[in-house]
Amino acid sequence: MSSMNDKRFLPEGKHLLMGNIAMVEGAISAGLSFFGGYPITPSTEAIEHLAKRLPEVGGCCMQMEDELASINSVIGASLVGAKAMTATSGPGLSLMAETISMAANLEIPFVFCDVQRNGPGTGLVTEPHHNDLGLMRFSGNGEFQVITLAPMNCQELFDLTITAFNFAETYRCPVFIMSDAYLGHLHEVVNIPPKEEILKRVIKREPPKEKQARVFSYKDPATGKYVIPKPPIMGTDYCPGLFLHLPHGPEGLPTPKPMVFLEMMIDKIKSNIDKICMVDKYKLEDAEIVIVAYGLPVRTSYRAVDIARKEGIKVGILRLITVWPFPDDIVKDVVKDAKAVIVPELNYTGVIAEQVERVTKLTTPIIKLGKVAEFHHPDDILKAIREVSK
Amino acid sequence: MSGLAPMFPNEKPEHPYLTKSYGGKIFGNFASLFCGGCGYGIIGQIFTRIFEDEKLDPKLHPTVIGIGCYSQILLLVHEASQKVLALHGRAPAVATGMKMANPKMKPIVFSGDGDCLGIGGNHFIHLCRRNVDCLIMIFNNSVYAMTGGQGAPTTLYGAKSTTTPYKMFENRSDGVKLALAAGAPYVARTTVAHPRTLMKYFRKALRHKGTSVIEIITPCVTYFGRKNLSSLGAEYMGEKGEKMDTGGKMIDWIKRNSVRINRAKFMTEEELFNKYVIGEFRYEPKPEYSDEYAKIQKIAMGGK
């Protein structure tokens, strides 16, 4: 299925794309060749579009019988060397959790797009609600670290999906793209870069040239750094022969030291946190009030900050592009001198606000601005800014 | 590297039919991790034999193993085969993904009765429906043996297990009928008491392009035989059986309790109750999924 042709890349230039479609177009440019999915509102456009597009580029898009089968077919495809992904919503994610845990153990790379909808239960299926954040962080049994990226517009859905595939190849862990019902259905202009530029960014799936027995990550005792080999491919010589999802060593053989294995699972990501954690700072140089946001609420915050700056209030935005692993050091550094931190989120609990509380050790007042199934009006955030600045 | 490493040797054994394992060091290559009287050793041996005799390319025949007692079979089967331990019941879905991502492959799926007819029933049905080219073997020992002998969807009526301490009263699930209804083109059932037939079916399934389902009746002495009488399945004959507490008694019982398909045609429903009908049920090759998908790809790429 590696016979990729020119249809893989959209023509260079501006395209009006829906969020879900921008996401899958990004995936196709990153070399996606297998998609296993199950229709679920609001992610359905992804599988609909791929059913048309993937056969064109020589890939395979399968509508499986349920979410369990779709994620399992995805890891099956990834095991034999295909770049694979699936897209679903909250209820689908909770069904897939078991397999995500298995894939994390075997370090099978795949990309997962969660187009979040309101919950719990069926909820309001077409309304956004960032309520799967905790599930994305702790999905599945056992301890492991995942990477979650939070785009805020269709352009980023395209770009960050390519980044997500690169992260999956490099760090060999489940990589989530955090979308939501509004972002997935938003139509925006997407600037498609030229083919050569995309190809330069994409990391290919190929076995290493020289034969090596160590196919799973391990800590190099000489340097103390984690070595993450290329993902093994079944059907080639670069394959351990046994894929057992139990604590295993670098050759894939069971190890009686589960602690060493678990340390590897988590620290291989944590030790690369400076490469994984991406943030965007907006007017933070002299800010007294900091807004920590991710996803769509960032766009509302931009407006609120611009108005507040005109009023002379010194406020800035720290935007988290990578939500998990949580960029502790960056957030700590930014909020250390802040008078207050405002965290506008599309959930009531304040999942990220809790993380900020943890990082600041409760020394800074933190204002949670929760909204569920609707958006913040810039006035909501402005009101909070004005109250804090008094 | 680790203390367990000798269990998983990478070197090729001297004799191709034998595997060197941790137990093998003690018992001289004839060891398995299975209980006395278990049938999985026979199946593992047959798999290894056919793998060697047919010169199967291990790169094109990945082995996907579900969860159950038979997961330990990965220590017995051919050392060259590339094996994945899938999640409980999800092996058919993993095999589908493998086949579609690399259509040259023909995955071999090991699956159990609880795995394939219980938790993974849905995946099994849809694998048969799609006709994805793979060989799926259902090992039916009629209990959940790995967790300690709980009742399974395939437990015979009247049998005792740890979750049916009085007697099993649920209707039995029939893997072959399910596969036939779902549209699998090659469906057969045999037992480990008929190893030559099993090898014949295995070879035929390897040559057939499409989903092949082979259900294999295998004995579980520890959790099924010890608790049940050998009159099981022949109650109408008024015979008083004895506990099947050895492998020999269970193999005898399996032989007695299996009816050839040719003979079953002339038997009534009551007579076939609690019996295993063995033989080839269907062999009707039909278009295979990945071939059909290749045609779709051609259309999508602008061909006819």
The CATH number that applies at residue A58 is 3.40.50.970
CATH superfamily of the B32-300 domain = Thiamin diphosphate (ThDP)-binding fold, Pyr/PP domains (3.40.50.970)
CB B286 within 8 A of CB A41: no
Nearest to B145 by CA among B56, B211, B221: B221
pLDDT confidence of B32, banded at 50, 70, 90? low
Could you tell me the two tokens for B269? 């429903």
Measured CA to CA in angstroms, residue A280 lies from A154, A251, A317 at distances of 17, 39, 8
Give the pLDDT band of residue A362 (cuts 50, 70, 90). Answer: confident
Q: Are residues A147 and A56 in the same domain?
A: yes
SS3 for A44? helix
Q: Which residues of chain B have a CB within 8 Å of the CB of A251?
A: 1
Final residue of a structural domain among A201, A235, A261: A201
Q: How far apart are CA A246 and CA A254, in angstroms?
A: 7
Is a pLDDT exceeding 90 seen at residue A291?
Answer: yes
Split at pLDDT 50, 70, 90, the class of A211 is confident
pLDDT above 90: residue A237: no
Which of residues 87 through 116 in chain A touch B, CB cutoff 8 A?
98-99, 102
Instruction: Give the gap in angstroms from C-alpha B154 to the nearest C-alpha of chain A.
Output: 23
Q: How confident is the model at residue B17 (pLDDT cuts 50, 70, 90)?
A: low
Which helix H or strand E contains A14, and what residues bound it?
Answer: strand A13-18
Q: What is the pLDDT of residues A367-377, one digit of tens each?
A: 999 998 888 99
> What value does the mean pLDDT take over residues B254-261?
92
Question: Cβ of A141 under 8 Å from any chain B Cβ?
Answer: no
pLDDT at residue A74 tops 90: yes
Q: Which of B80, B83, B93 has its CB closest to that of A68?
A: B93
The Cα–Cα gap between B268 and A268 comes to 64
Give the Cα separation of B257 and B274 in Å (integer): 8
Contact of A258 with chain B, judged by CB distance below 8 Å, is answered with no
Q: Is residue A244 scored above 80 in pLDDT?
A: yes
β-pairing, A84-88 vs A34-37, is parallel
DSSP calls for A70-113 = HHHHHHHHHHTT--EEEEE-HHHHHHHHHHHHHHHHTT---EEE
Q: What is the CA radius of gyration of chain B?
A: 20
Q: Residue B232: pLDDT band by 50, 70, 90 thresholds?
A: confident
Least confident of A107-111, A156-160, B270-274: B270-274
* Band of pLDDT at residue B25, cut at 50, 70 and 90: very low
Length of chain B: 304
pLDDT at residue B221 above 50? Answer: yes
Which residues are within 8 A (CB) of A151 and not within 5 positions of it... i.e. 6 or more apart? Answer: A157, A159, A160, A177, A178, A179, A183, A295, A321
User: What is the band of B236 on the pLDDT scale with cuts at 50, 70, 90?
Assistant: low
Structure confidence at residue A212 (pLDDT): 84
Residues A44, A154 within the same domain: yes
Looking at the structure, tell me whether residues A175 and A290 fall in a common domain: no
Using the 3D structure, point to which of A201, A223, A241 is the last residue of a domain.
A201
- A95: region left, alpha or beta (phi > 0 left; psi from -120 to 50 alpha): alpha
Mean of pLDDT values over A239-255: 85
Please indicate whether, in this complex, the C-beta atoms of B105 and A257 are within 8 angstroms of each other.
no
Q: How far is B92 from chain A (nearest CA, A)?
A: 8
In a domain, A252, yes or no: no
pLDDT value for B14: 57
Would you say residue A84 lies in a domain?
yes
Of the listed ranges B34-43, B107-116, B197-206, the least confidently predicted one is: B34-43
**B86/A58 touch (CB, cutoff 8 Å), yes or no:** no
Question: What pLDDT score was predicted for residue B180?
Answer: 95
Residues in B touching A80 (Cβ below 8 Å): 62, 97-98, 101-102, 105
pLDDT for the residue B49: 84
- Looking at the structure, do residues A10 and A135 belong to the same domain, yes or no? yes
The C-alpha of A31 sits at a distance from chain B's nearest C-alpha, in angstroms, of 13
The verdict on residue A254 lying in a domain is no
Contact between B85 and A62 using a beta-carbon 8 Å cutoff? no
Chain A hits for B74, CB-CB cut-off 8 Å, are 242, 244
The answer to whether the Cβ–Cβ distance between A241 and B10 falls below 8 Å is: yes
Q: Which of A288-297, B69-78, B287-296 has the lowest mean pLDDT?
A: B69-78
Query: Which pLDDT does position A191 carry in this prediction?
Result: 95
Based on its alpha-carbon atoms, the radius of gyration of chain A, rounded to whole angstroms, reads 21
Q: How many domains does chain A have?
A: 2
Specify whether A187 is located in the same domain as A285. Answer: no
CB < 8 Å from B in window 227-256 of A: 234-236, 239, 241-245, 249, 251, 253-256
Residues in chain A: 390
Q: What percent of chain B has pLDDT over 90?
A: 58
Same domain for A52 and A149, yes or no, is yes
| Domain of residue A313, CATH code | 3.40.50.920
Query: DSSP string spanning chain B?
Result: --TTGGGS--SPPSSTT----HHHHHHTT---SSPTT-SHHHHHHHHHHHHHHTT--TTT--EEE-SSGGGGGGGTS-TTS-EEE--TT-HHHHHHHHHHHSTT---EEEEEHIIIIIITHHHHHHHHHHT-SEEEEEEE-SEETTTTSEE-TTPPTT---SS-SS---SPPP-HHHHHHHHT-SEEEEEETT-HHHHHHHHHHHHHSSSEEEEEEE---TTTTGGGSBTTTT-GGGT----B--SHHHHHHHHHHHEEEHHHHTTS-HHHHTTPEEEEEEEE-----HHHHHHHHHHHHTT--
Do the domain assignments include residue A247? no
Q: What is the mean pLDDT of chain A?
A: 91
**CA-to-CA dists, residue A325 to A102, A136, A170, A231, A352, angstroms:** 19, 11, 15, 21, 11
Q: Is residue A310 part of a domain?
A: yes
Q: Cβ of A75 under 8 Å from any chain B Cβ?
A: yes
Q: Which residue from B minimizes the CA distance to A82?
A: B101
B288 to each of B105, B107, B215, B295, how far by Cα in Å? Answer: 13, 14, 21, 11
How many Å lie between the alpha carbon of A239 and the closest alpha carbon of chain B? 8
Determine whether the interchain pair B98/A243 forms a contact, defined as Cβ–Cβ distance below 8 Å: no
Express as a percent the part of chain A with pLDDT over 70.
Answer: 99
pLDDT tens-digit series, residues A274-283: 999 999 999 9
Residue B2 has pLDDT above 60, yes or no: no
**Alpha helices, H only, A80-216:** 90-105, 133-137, 154-171, 181-185, 195-201
DSSP-derived 3-state class of residue A2: coil
**Whether residue A297 is found in the same domain as residue A164:** no
**Domain span holding position A94:** 6-201
Same domain, A300 and A191: no
CA distance A61 to A75: 14
* Closest CB from B7, B93, B293 relative to A76: B93
Quote ipTM for the complex.
0.92
Cα-based distances in Å from A144 to A149, A172, B208, B274: 17, 12, 42, 47
Say yes or no to pLDDT of B19 above 80: no
Instruction: Give the distance from residue B91's alpha carbon to the nearest chain A alpha carbon, in angstroms.
Output: 8
How much is the mean pLDDT over chain B? 86
Q: In this complex, do B102 and A7 lie within 8 Å of one another by their Cβ atoms?
A: no
Confidence at B6, pLDDT banded by 50, 70, 90: very low
Distance CA B259, CA B10 (A): 42
**Chain-chain contact of A82 with B296 (C-beta, under 8 angstroms):** no
Residues A314 and A189 in one domain: no
3-class secondary structure, A244: coil
The last residue of one of the domains, among A169, A201, A233, is A201
Q: Nearest-CA neighbor of A274 among A329, A351, A209, A343?
A: A329
Pairing of strands B143-144, A289-293: unpaired
- Token readout for B66 is 């579900």
Is any Cβ of chain B less than 8 angstroms from the Cβ of A51?
Answer: no
Query: Tens digits of per-residue pLDDT, A92-119?
Result: 999 999 999 999 999 999 999 999 999 8
Domain boundaries, chain B: 1-29, 32-300
pLDDT of residue B4: 42
Within 8 A of B92 by CB-CB distance, chain A residues are 69
Q: By the 8 A CB rule, do B17 and B52 touch?
A: yes
Q: Is residue A261 part of a domain?
A: no
